[in-house]
Amino acid sequence: MSSETEQEPLDASVATEIQPRQLIVTIFGLYARAESNWLSVASVVKLMAELDIDGPAVRSSISRLKRRDVLLSSRFDGAAGYSLSQRSLDVVNEGDTRIFDRRRATLDDGWLLVVFSVPESEREKRHSLRSALTTLGFGTAAPGVWIAPGNLERETRDTLDKRTLSAYVDIFRSEHLAYGDLRSKVRSWWNLNELSELYGDFVRRYRSVSSALDANGVTASVAFEQYVPMLTEWRRLPYLDPGLPLTLLPQGWTGVTAEALFADLNSRLSGPAREHALSVIHR
């Protein structure tokens, strides 16, 4: 999975406004890869109808995703359908670890510093670099100096290489030796208040889902209805938060509660949701 192949900003004021195209990307990321990276138009419309999105909105969203090279149209056994573009498929595959199996950094991991210089004639590369580093969860330590936990080195190298951006970049391993309180510095490098609000919003919205599961269990169809929107909202958060060391975060950091809630819901909903989705796809 990925944060969002379109890379649009997310803040607390729009956290509840999940767009149909975001749900479609989630559905393709979850279920198309096991189906030779292809889903029929009919099955996408049926699955989205179960999320209360009507056919015209689905087709409009798919058209937008096609224009942005997220989806490609193709036919299989005479049926019209879509697949993730290779670029989107790469992003989705890269995102699986970040979303489902992220390791939180410790102080022993140190820091990763990225410095880049892009000629004015290639300003689009500068935008691409900033977008890539933001997606990786980097903060800004100073003008032109980006920082992230050291355990993101391999992911950073892979991302910059795949986007042919490495020629503009120098990467350094570092540690904070002296001067200034590192906890305060982290607050200035990342917007922890916004992150806390986003995590808190996720917990408030989905804690009741966990409680309902405890009380009543869940059918496969209800699991699908709950899981896809939940994952759509969650999958962007690990890209805003690089997994900073807990010792540098405010006491009682909301992200820990949110991560535990997501892990619980993912383990309980993903299986029956997949069972239902595949039954619709193969119907």
- 10 Å CB burial of residue 102 (0-12, 13-18, 19+) is middle
When pLDDT is cut at 50, 70 and 90, the band that residue 14 belongs to is very low
Read off the DSSP letter of residue 104: P
**Average pLDDT of span 4-26:** 62
pLDDT digits (tens, 9 = 90+) for 256-268: 999 999 999 999 9
* Phi/psi of residue 77, nearest 5 degrees: 50, 40
pLDDT digits (tens, 9 = 90+) for 164-176: 888 889 999 999 9
pLDDT at 7 over 50: no
Among residues 236, 212, 210, 218, the alpha carbon closest in space to that of 273 is found at: 218
pTM flag (> 0.85): yes
pLDDT digits (tens, 9 = 90+) for 110-139: 999 999 888 888 888 888 899 999 989 999
> 13-48 burial, b for 16+ CB within 10 Å, e for fewer?
eebeebbbbbbbbbbbbbbbbebebbbbbebbbbbb
Give the Cα separation of 28 and 34 in Å (integer). 10
**How many CB atoms neighbour CB 271 within 10 A?**
13
Instruction: Decide: 83 and 74 in contact? Cβ < 8 Å.
Output: yes
Instruction: Decide: 80 and 41 in contact? Cβ < 8 Å.
Output: yes
> 232-264 burial, b for 16+ CB within 10 Å, e for fewer?
bbbbbbbbbbbbbbeebbeeebbbeebbebbee
Higher pLDDT, 213 or 262: 262
Give the Cα separation of 258 and 199 in Å (integer). 6
- 10 Å CB burial of residue 75 (0-12, 13-18, 19+) is exposed
Instruction: Decide: 76 and 82 in contact? Cβ < 8 Å.
Output: no
